[in-house]
């Protein structure tokens, strides 16, 4: 019990035996799509939305997933159930599959389907109490007309280069700008800022962000809690002068940011409004989702 892996029709418990072909185009070229899904208290949160987004990403890259969404949902649930755990992180990957050295996707006979269910820790636990110190990356986010950010593809090199930069400069995370200098997102998370103690801002999709499922959930929670949620462009100056800042993502959940580019945000501590939203999010994820165990 613990790790559970589904790979092309077989369930595997030893992660060292979960192997794909060296000629798989997901490995050779990053040709594929993926989703990160969380299971809380035995319930897969927003599973339907994640599966739908996976298939939408596949449509955009001209890849047909060889099973209906309902079957993929069943496989995710079955993989999770085999872990015996109640809190799980799922990485669902569909690559173009085995091919040759060329780019031609027609040479790939069928997609590779890989579902991994395990635990995750993106940031040290104490950072959720103390907050992240972030920097503005010099790596610009891919333009949507070059690689549409709504395609959750296996090619994350743009994000990885920004992540490497954070380590070089001793930061916890990096904020990426688009080609016009507006804030887009962090290396793997969406960003929110709070101003005037009731207005919450987040960048709009056209700036090159992935419209995260956690992002959407937090926006809905904020509206229910009578915050004004505004999707509009903003610059790093707006982060410098914000009352609060936090990041969201399926893996990271909600995590506070207390410093950017050596400038303290607010009072330098995780804010009251962030804590309210985090509590609401945790309450929601504990009680909603697709049951894994029946």
Question: For the segment 44-63, what is each residue's pLDDT rounded down to a tens digit?
Answer: 999 999 999 999 999 999 99
Looking at per-residue confidence, does 95 or 251 come out higher?
95
**How many structural domains does the chain have?**
2
Annotation marks residue 107 as catalytic: no
Average pLDDT, the chain: 96
Same domain, 169 and 252: yes
Shared domain check, 89 and 170: no
* pLDDT of the residue at 124: 85
Strand 199-202 vs strand 228-231: parallel, antiparallel, or unpaired?
Answer: parallel
Give residue 111's pLDDT band: very low, low, confident or very high (50, 70, 90).
very high
Alpha-carbon distance of 134 to 170, in angstroms, equals 9
Residue the block writes with tokens 């035996």 = 17
| CA-to-CA separations, 291 to 34, 45, 81, 219, 245, in angstroms, rounded | 22, 9, 10, 24, 33
pTM of the model: 0.94
Q: Given this model, what pLDDT does residue 1 score?
A: 65
Q: Is residue 144 part of a domain?
A: yes
Co-location of 172 and 220 in the same domain: yes
Confidence (pLDDT) at 2: 82
Rounded CA gap, 30 and 58, in Å? 13
Residues sharing a CB contact under 8 Å with residue 124, sequence separation 6 or more, in sequence order = none
Q: How far apart are CA 101 and CA 70, in angstroms?
A: 33
Q: What is the CATH number of the domain that holds 106?
A: 3.30.470.10
Backbone angles phi and psi of 31, in degrees to 5: -90, 90
Q: What is the pLDDT of residue 219?
A: 98
pLDDT tens digits for range 75-94: 999 999 999 999 999 999 99
Q: At what angle do helices 213-224 and 272-287 cross, to 10 degrees?
A: 110
Of 118-122, 159-163, 239-243, where does mean pLDDT reach its minimum?
Answer: 118-122
**260-277 average pLDDT score:** 97
Rounded average pLDDT over 200-219: 96
Residues 36 and 70 both lie in one domain: yes
Share of the chain above pLDDT 90, in %: 92
Read off the pLDDT of residues 128-154 as tens digits, 9 standing for 90 and up.
999 999 999 999 999 988 889 999 999
Q: Is the same domain home to 82 and 160?
A: no
Distance, in Å, from the CA atom of 28 to the CA atom of 142, rounded to the nearest integer, reads 21
Q: Which is the catalytic residue, given 46, 127, 133, 152?
A: 152
Instruction: State whether 75 and 132 are in the same domain.
Output: no
Structural domain that includes position 108: 4-118
**13: Cβ contacts below 8 Å, ≥ 6 apart:** 2, 3, 4, 5, 82
């Amino acid at each position: 019990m613990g790790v559970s892996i589904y790979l092309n029709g077989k369930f595997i418990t030893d992660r060292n035996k979960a192997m794909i072909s060296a000629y798989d185009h997901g490995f050779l070229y990053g040709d594929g799509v993926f989703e990160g899904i969380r299971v809380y208290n035995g319930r897969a949160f927003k599973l339907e939305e994640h599966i739908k987004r996976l298939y939408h990403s596949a449509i955009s890259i001209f890849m047909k997933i060889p099973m209906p969404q309902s079957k993929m949902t069943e496989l995710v649930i079955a993989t999770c159930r085999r872990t015996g755990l109640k809190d799980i992180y799922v990485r669902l990957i569909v690559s173009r599959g085995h091919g040759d050295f060329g780019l031609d996707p027609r040479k790939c006979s069928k997609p590779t389907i890989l579902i991994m269910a395990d635990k995750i820790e993106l940031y040290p636990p104490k950072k959720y109490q103390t907050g992240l110190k972030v920097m503005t990356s010099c790596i610009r986010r891919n333009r949507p007309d070059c690689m549409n950010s709504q395609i959750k593809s296996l090619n994350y090199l743009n994000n990885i280069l920004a992540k490497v930069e954070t380590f070089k400069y001793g930061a916890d995370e990096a904020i990426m700008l688009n080609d016009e200098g507006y804030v887009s997102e962090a290396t793997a998370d969406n960003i929110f800022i709070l101003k005037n103690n009731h207005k919450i801002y987040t960048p709009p999709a056209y700036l090159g962000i992935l419209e995260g499922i956690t992002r959407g959930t937090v926006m809905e929670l904020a509206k229910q809690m009578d915050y004004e949620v505004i999707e509009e462009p903003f610059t790093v100056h707006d982060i410098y002068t914000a009352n609060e800042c936090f990041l969201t993502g399926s893996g990271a959940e909600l995590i506070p940011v207390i410093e950017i580019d050596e400038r303290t945000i607010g009072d330098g501590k995780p804010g009251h409004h962030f804590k309210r939203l985090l509590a609401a999010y945790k309450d929601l994820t504990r009680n909603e989702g697709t049951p894994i165990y029946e």
